[in-house]
Amino acid sequence: MTIHDVAARAGVSVSTVSKVLNDRYGVATSTVDRVRAVIAELGYESSLVARSLRNHRTNVIGVLVWDIEPYSAELLKGAARAIKGTGYELVVYAAGGKGAERMGWEHRYLSRLSGTLIDGAVMVTPTVDTAPFSTPVVAVDPHTGSEVPTVDSDNFRGAQLAVEHLLGLGHRRIGLLRRPPRDLESGPQREEGYRSALQAAGITPDPDLVRAGGYDDSASEDAARQLLTLPDRPTAIFAANDVSAITTIDVAMALGLRVPGDLSVIGFDNVPESAMTEPGLTTIEQPLQLMGQRAIEMLVELLAGRDLPQTHVRLPTRLVVRGSCAAPPAEPRRVAVEHSAAR
């Protein structure tokens, strides 16, 4: 079913049909009606692909994500909300399906799609700088300081809030379970917030109390275990990642510690689901939907040829208390030695 079929059926040339499709001048009213009738009769719709190969404008905005999981799904909800009424359509490309070549997927996808198919893109957590592209791009939560317009959340302040909350409860030895090294830009930001809050309270951060998790659960598990089996173990742990917060709680309980009785845990929340899983967990929340929404809004501005009021948008994080944090125990219980020896 192509434009040729329509043309043949209506007894006109393809260019006439094209003109009717695009509301161009120079077609007799009677012809327009006839062609329209045939289009309706056949249920014809012009191919987005052929059209975008020709016109280099598609009215489509692409959101490029590595995978659709709880984190990106939240962003997508916000993006979908923001796209309404803009005249653009939204398509989401999930790279995760094809191949395992994670490095550089952003560049690959952007080259394959930009110019044709999408007028602009929102890239979620790009690992490489996608600056040398003519297509307008907005990055969400980029890994490295990037040249492109960016939306992220206030990781620094969020970490401060977490630690301030724990300090307010009386904790003095607060551990940090940070992200793996050389990961997202937000990792160092959260660590900075942690240090800053401690120092503001006159506490010198103890390097022993900072451990890095990894990409899989077991790395976080090891790190949590190391922290908790320290001779002078922390009475509270700030986990700079929602998954590692839950892991920490599990490890603590396995070690015979009560949460929050013996140990307070506070996590940097990425997704609402994690709050559900662990109902009592106090978290620092990022406004993920809002971030997706703002990214689209910025991109639409860019596509309209307007300048952005600010090229780097940082949204506030907030502390959400659900009851898990307690004051530090008067006499911190030591973890039995055999546990620390095990593995």
Partner DNA sequence: GTGAAAGCGCTAACAT
Partner DNA sequence: ATGTTAGCGCTTTCAC
Choosing from 68, 210, 243, 327, the residue that interacts with a copy of itself (CB under 8 A) is 68
Q: How many Å apart are CA 237 and CA 175, to the nearest integer?
A: 4
* 103 scored as a contact of a copy of itself (CB under 8 A): no
Segment interacting with a copy of itself, rule: CB under 8 A, options 24-32, 155-163, 213-221, 271-279 = 271-279
Q: Which one among 87, 181, 305, 309 touches a copy of itself, defined by CB under 8 A?
A: 87
Structure token pair of residue 159: 């970490």
Binding DNA (rule: CB under 7 A), the pick from 8, 27, 68, 327 is: 27
Q: Which listed residue (37, 42, 50, 200) binds DNA by CB under 7 A?
A: 50
Which is nearer to a copy of itself, 52 or 247 (by Cβ)?
A: 52
Residue 302's φ and ψ, nearest 5 degrees, are -60, -45
For the CB of residue 86, give the shortest distance to DNA in the complex, in Å. Answer: 21
* Ranges within 105-124 binding DNA (CB under 7 A): 115-116
**Which entry of DNA, a copy of itself, none binds 117, CB below 5 to 8 A by partner kind?**
a copy of itself
Q: Which is nearer to a copy of itself, 51 or 339 (CB)?
A: 51
Helix (H), strand (E) at residue 222: helix 217-228
CB of 65 to DNA, least distance (A): 23
Residue 3 as a binder of DNA (CB under 7 A): the answer is yes
* Binding partner of 150, given a copy of itself, DNA, none, CB within 5-8 angstroms per partner class: none
SS (H, E, C) 20-87: HHCCCCCCCHHHHHHHHHHHHHHCCCCCHHHHHHHCCCCCEEEEEECCCCHHHHHHHHHHHHHHCCCC
Q: Shortest Cβ distance from residue 72 to a copy of itself (Å)?
A: 9
Query: How far is Cα 263 from Cα 272, in angstroms, rounded to an integer?
Result: 23
Q: Which stretch binds a copy of itself (CB under 8 A): 62-70, 140-148, 163-171, 280-288?
A: 62-70
Query: What backbone torsions phi and psi does residue 249 show, to the nearest 5 degrees?
Result: -60, -45
Applying the rule CB under 7 A, the residues between 54 and 93 that interact with DNA are: 54-55
Instruction: Report if residue 22 touches DNA, rule: CB under 7 A.
Output: yes
With 0-12 CB in 10 A as exposed, 13-18 as middle and 19+ as buried, what is 179?
buried
* CB contact at 8 A, 107 and 321: no
Binding mask 1-20 for a copy of itself (x = CB under 8 A): x-------------------
What distance lies between CA 241 and its chain's CA centroid? 13
CA-CA distances (angstroms) from residue 171 to 37, 157, 162, 203, 234?
75, 19, 12, 11, 9
Is residue 119 a contact partner of residue 61, using CB atoms and an 8 Å limit?
yes
Distance in angstroms (rounded) separating the CA atoms of residues 341 and 261: 24
Contact call for residue 59 and a copy of itself (CB under 8 A)? yes
Nearer to DNA by C-beta: 12 or 76? 12
Is residue 43 within the footprint of a copy of itself (CB under 8 A)? Answer: yes
Residue 71 makes CB contacts below 8 A (sequence gap 6+) with: 270, 271, 288
Length of the chain in terms of residues written: 343
- Point out which residues bind a copy of itself (CB under 8 A): 1, 43-50, 52-53, 59, 67-70, 73-74, 76-77, 79-80, 83-84, 86-98, 107-108, 111-113, 115-117, 272-273, 275-276, 279
- Point out which residues bind DNA (CB under 7 A): 2-4, 11-19, 21-22, 24-28, 30-31, 46-47, 50-51, 53-55, 115-116
